[in-house]
Amino acid sequence: MDKIELDKIIADHKLWLKCRGDRRADLKGADLKGANLRGANLAAINFARADLTGANLSGANLSHTIFYDTNLTGANLSGTKLRETNFCGANLQDVNFHHANFIKTDIRFCNFTDIKGVSTFTHRGHFGMAQILGDDIMIQIGDIRETKEKWLDIYVPVFERYRYSEEDIEIFGDWIRSLA
């Protein structure tokens, strides 16, 4: 897709977000390799199965955006807002997530090879993600996002409530403690 066409779609979408237009952007399957969407409001756009290899999305609002089965290899998502964003099945290899804000983000079945700014952990189908934000470490497991210190206080009762095995609780506790 050329830059002029993409800019038009994004401009129409911006009007839609303000309830002044009738065109919500649908970029499903689009070839957007290397696109520069830095700082754009891309909330609620459908990028399912699109190719965003090497794209710059830094500082963008990606809340409620769909990246289902999308190729984001090498993309820059630093400083993005990721509230209820769907990355299910996305290729996130070598993606930069420094200072990205994850809230209720669906990251199941993703390729996390060499991602930057985030530490992930999977054990028997259970998934955890930690993000270093300055001096703080935010950890998300399931729908719960808390600081490392808070997780150290609550992880045993939380995992017991969700019926994790004692072994799983111990393994996740080791991972939480290992985060520097």
Name which of 64, 69, 71 is nearest 32 in CA terms. 71
Element spanning 12, H or E:
helix 3-17
pTM metric for this prediction: 0.76
Question: How far apart are the C-alpha atoms of 92 and 95, rounded to whole Å?
Answer: 5
Q: Check: CB of residue 116 under 8 Å from CB of residue 96.
A: yes
Quote the pLDDT of residue 65: 97
Instruction: Look at the block and give the residue holding tokens 């009738």.
Output: 22
39 and 18 in contact (C-beta within 8 Å)? no
Mean pLDDT by 10 residues, the chain (180 residues): 94 93 93 97 97 98 96 95 91 89 80 78 75 76 84 91 88 84
